[in-house]
């Protein structure tokens, strides 16, 4: 049953990847990309790596692919004009594709340190795959994990600082000035005569 599911999912991944490349409509291309991500997550579930499958769906499908879809749908790009200059890049693309297929063939037919399906353990020394990744990440690589978090925090602060624009025409709240004001500054008594208004 696992072998049948693998062949079905692998066929869908291959067809979806080809659909990403050959699709003329960029919206269809992004939808094929989402399908390829979902079926790749199914392949990861088959080998017992459920945490990586969930991560693939949440990060790539939930954020990256949907962001691509929104950008493509919001921008009014003339794709016919955009594709007119792509004919000159075909030789480079064919060379890169040939190199990629050569690497896949080399890995497929290599007889070196190949791990068979019976030797592969997605959760060594743990109940689940997520627990195994957590044990490794928070014990052996804790310092690197914390450093990566600090780098991401600095990148987020840098992006906020670079994009923050202070406008002088916009009234902003000054909490210190509000708290420090006295009753005389806050109230002003007006002696309004009848019929005159304020």
What's the confidence (pLDDT) of residue 98?
92
Last residue of a domain, one of 41, 57, 75: 75
> What is the Rg, in whole angstroms, of the alpha carbon atoms belonging to the chain?
29
- Structural domain contains residue 1: yes
- Structural domain contains residue 118: no
- Structural domain contains residue 15: yes
Domain range holding 149? 129-158
What's the confidence (pLDDT) of residue 72?
73
Q: For position 29, which CATH number holds?
A: 1.20.120.1200
Sequence-ordered list of residues with C-beta below 8 angstroms from that of 173, at least 6 positions apart, any chain:
none
On whether the pTM is more than 0.75, the answer is no
Instruction: With beta carbons less than 8 A apart as the criterion, state whether 56 and 40 touch.
Output: yes
- Structural domain contains residue 6: yes
Shared-domain flag, residues 65 and 2 = yes
> Consecutive sets of 10 residues in the chain, 198 residues long: mean pLDDT of each?
88 92 82 90 87 87 79 69 72 89 83 59 74 84 92 92 76 85 83 76
Last residue of a domain, one of 57, 75, 93: 75
Instruction: With beta carbons less than 8 A apart as the criterion, state whether 6 and 12 touch.
Output: no
What's the confidence (pLDDT) of residue 112?
57
What's the confidence (pLDDT) of residue 122?
67
């Amino acid at each position: 049953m696992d072998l049948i599911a693998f062949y079905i999912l692998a066929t869908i991944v291959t067809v979806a990847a080809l659909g990403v490349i050959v699709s003329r409509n960029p919206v269809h291309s992004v939808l094929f990309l989402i399908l390829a991500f979902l079926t790749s997550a199914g392949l990861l579930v088959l080998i017992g790596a459920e945490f990586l499958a969930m991560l693939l769906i949440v990060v790539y499908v939930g954020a990256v692919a949907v962001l691509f879809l929104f950008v493509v749908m919001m921008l009014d790009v003339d794709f016919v004009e955009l594709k007119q200059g792509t004919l000159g890049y075909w030789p480079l693309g064919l060379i890169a594709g040939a190199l990629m297929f050569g690497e896949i063939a080399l890995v497929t037919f290599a007889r070196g340190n190949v791990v068979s399906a019976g030797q592969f353990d997605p959760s060594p020394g743990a109940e689940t795959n997520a627990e195994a990744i957590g044990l490794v990440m928070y014990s052996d690589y804790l310092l690197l994990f914390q450093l990566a978090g600090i780098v991401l925090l600095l990148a987020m602060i840098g992006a906020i600082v670079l994009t923050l624009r202070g406008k002088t025409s916009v009234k902003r709240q000054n909490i210190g000035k509000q708290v420090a004001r006295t009753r005389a500054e806050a109230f002003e008594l007006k002696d309004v005569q009848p019929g005159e208004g304020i």
